[in-house]
Structure 1
């Protein structure tokens, strides 16, 4: 979670493809990121976890924390769009149809429980992003190698079948 617009900016810049971004709709608030495992989908987020992330966003919104109910938007990090003309912490979306919303009511018990387990860390987001990119490229290379191997084996099999059918 970003504490201010500058930390939010770092989170926007160095997110991972499996990160899910949460924010109070149309109000100033912290950016909360949920890191999923590679391959997981938005639908894989449990309703309890969705409520916890949304409650954190609401509680860390200047105007939103005073309201009884707010609308929270969430989407994949890779759907976030940042242009040079935008202020620090401000974002848009590449595909607005991929943005989901949830209404959240004030629930101090969830936020209090989360605050009890709060752990502040200051990870090197850029290094994490670069490490994830290396992993992704290695997986892509391995996948391509496997596909090429299968194609070679298939070609060899077809050539052998053609030899068997041949009159030579």
Structure 2
């Protein structure tokens, strides 16, 4: 089961989601999207919270209010973290999560530590947590099918862009060829390259 929360601090609203337990966390790790940002309380056990970025958005574009919501949701869903003040929340892109066979269920590491961001959370903000909890919805998505569908659509988009680019290149080639033919025709039509009856080339025999 996956839990979904709606953050209304921006327009349009964004969705935050997390696994109901470590086994769902494992599935989210396996079938995450390249657009997903992963959040976790640093150095203590907590939920794995995700934010799916919009097309073209980067981790640097996350609004501070959305970042606050994600961090508060992570803290509230950490047994130890929820009781502590001045904790660190780490977050990084899903693609930076590293999973090996020797790791426990739900456990991850990072491919590149330098790509992990960290934000300090002073204390729990009940207003934020309560607002998010009121939007909570439970669902049982097929994460594998969702990811495979996402990848298929991306491939189709890339193929369309490639076709459009090739067609654009062909059109540019046709345009250049037409311009060259036009310049060549214009050159031939210049007066100095044309013969007239004043050049002695008149076919009629005048006295």
> What TM-score results when the alignment is normalised by the length of structure 2?
0.74
* Counterpart pick for 1:20 among 15, 37, 60: 37
Q: Mind listing any 5+ residue stretches in structure 2 that lack a counterpart?
A: 1-17, 189-207
Would the aligned equivalents of 1:27 and 1:64 in 2 still touch at CA under 8 Å?
Answer: yes
For residues 113 and 137 of structure 1, the distance between their equivalents in structure 2, rounded to whole angstroms, comes to: 38
Q: Mind listing any 5+ residue stretches in structure 1 that lack a counterpart?
A: none
Q: What corresponds to 1:6 in structure 2?
A: 23
For residues 96 and 67 of structure 1, the distance between their equivalents in structure 2, rounded to whole angstroms, comes to: 24
Give the secondary-structure state (helix, strand or coil) at the position aligned to 1:9: helix
Correspondence list, 1:59-138, <5 A: 59-107=76-124, 108-138=126-156
For residues 57 and 32 of structure 1, the distance between their equivalents in structure 2, rounded to whole angstroms, comes to: 6
Q: What corresponds to 1:40 in structure 2?
A: 57
> What TM-score results when the alignment is normalised by the length of structure 1?
0.89
Structure with greater helix percent:
1
CA offset digits 1:103-158 (Å, max 9, x no partner): 11222232122222221122111111111111111110011111111222223333
CA offset digits 1:79-121 (Å, max 9, x no partner): 2222222221111222322221111122223212222222112
Count of aligned positions: 168
- How far residue 37 of structure 1 moved from its aligned partner, in angstroms, is 1.8
